[in-house]
Structure 1
């Protein structure tokens, strides 16, 4: 072996180390891609919308949620948020963002606190909402876990339902959790339990009315971000 041949292993090692350093923080693995979907159908009045909007922002801003995002596991958390109501009535409020720092979370909280409702005149097209979430997930960062977190106060009453959405949209590898808001529709809890939950470890969180939304969302976020496996349906 010549002089150059003797040093080839060292050269390859040095090149690998240089590439690793050059990649820097951007090369960090993503542990969770999380989509939050908020119900703004006609059963949700202006006050209830505000309780969702402020409740979501406050839940994300809570110290225990910040801690779970930034120090709760190896890798980043990616977040996207949209609202939904009737068929093709979805509005993306927060496109994919990696929550890598306190400042990243603060910016996301500000966006969510400032959300403006897109519509209040449409029924509950839950299948369409889920399909939109699946399509949104195709643009997500490459993360170890993929979760759609859909909240609502009523059952599907327009267009195709969750079963057809799961059959025809790209849901492979996606877990769907539910947050049920009680008070408007007595059938909503069983509907979400039977029709919406999907995938390993999927669970249901329950809010006792919109006034309880912040508490329920904070509890749900903590479980999703921390990957806590308590039970399939937790009431």
Structure 2
């Protein structure tokens, strides 16, 4: 896979995106219709816990907007059997803190992709405590039943910057979801910040590989620089739309699911107990 230029997100980029998408925003992306199948139903499940500051959340959103409107992704959608996908955007934090920011939308070309991106960029930001990847998975899975149309594949795409520290053990939730025929992919955000939180862990990408992702063709792409988030999202969407496994070591690096865990899948819960005693 050819490495592409990083997308440098900034206030200027946000203004440019909004300006370019304002016309599309007047015609919202179409809600899912019952009569036509989709090649993939994709839930973008995005971490909004306190470890993600507003600037990082902004860069995430811009990355998704850039990714879903990119020419490569639109061409991949057009080449699908049905030429259309369904996308929903969910924000999550603690075990009981999830919100459908954008319900199911059909993306079948440039206009609907731009409408989805404009809707996303226009939503307010929020930050909430705790990190429950398991809660996000449990919340997201029933949304497929509300789609109201058949999908060749069903995928939950989880992005976050820390391990599960609340709710069910993440492996238990993941295995239940995978047992329903749903694939869980990951975008672990592994940033080199000037500070280190007591809840940060080394090798978050390995944690995601071993404990979070699973199902047919599951993979994850570590994000090591939020300025390149758009590149990571584009790469991931291309693979998900096409139903492909990642190459051995593309850039951004994409790793398939591991056969068994090499890190403790309870590390986040242990950190929380050691810090707070509960």
Q: Tell me if the contact between 2:67 and 2:234 (Cα under 8 Å) persists in the aligned partners.
A: yes
- Given candidates 142, 146, 153, the residue that maps to 2:154 is 146
3-state SS, counterpart of residue 137 of structure 1:
helix
Partner of 1:192: 208
- Given candidates 86, 98, 104, the residue that maps to 1:96 is 104
How many residues are aligned here? Answer: 209
Partner of 1:212: 228
Q: Tell me if the contact between 2:74 and 2:109 (Cα under 8 Å) persists in the aligned partners.
A: no
- Given candidates 107, 132, 137, the residue that maps to 2:139 is 132
Q: Would you tell me which structure has more strand in proportion to its own residues?
A: 1
3-state SS, counterpart of residue 122 of structure 1:
coil
Q: Would you tell me which structure has more helix in proportion to its own residues?
A: 1
CA distance in 2, matches of 1:133, 1:116: 21
Partner of 1:49: 57
Rg (Cα) greater in structure: 1
What's the TM-score once normalised by structure 2's chain length? 0.70
Per-residue CA deviation, residues 175-230 of structure 1 (Å, 9 max, x unaligned), is 00011111254242121111111111100111113222111111101110111223
**Structure 1 position 35, deviation (Å):** 0.7
What's the TM-score once normalised by structure 1's chain length? 0.82
CA distance in 1, matches of 2:38, 2:90: 21
Per-residue CA deviation, residues 136-183 of structure 1 (Å, 9 max, x unaligned), is 122123111111110111111122222232355685110000111112
3-state SS, counterpart of residue 138 of structure 1:
helix
3-state SS, counterpart of residue 51 of structure 2:
coil
Q: Tell me if the contact between 1:127 and 1:160 (Cα under 8 Å) persists in the aligned partners.
A: yes
> Unaligned regions of 5+ residues in structure 1, if any?
1-24
CA distance in 1, matches of 2:132, 2:216: 24
Alignment RMSD (CA, Å):
2.1
> Unaligned regions of 5+ residues in structure 2, if any?
1-32, 192-199, 256-278
Query: Does 2:232 correspond to 1:230?
Result: no
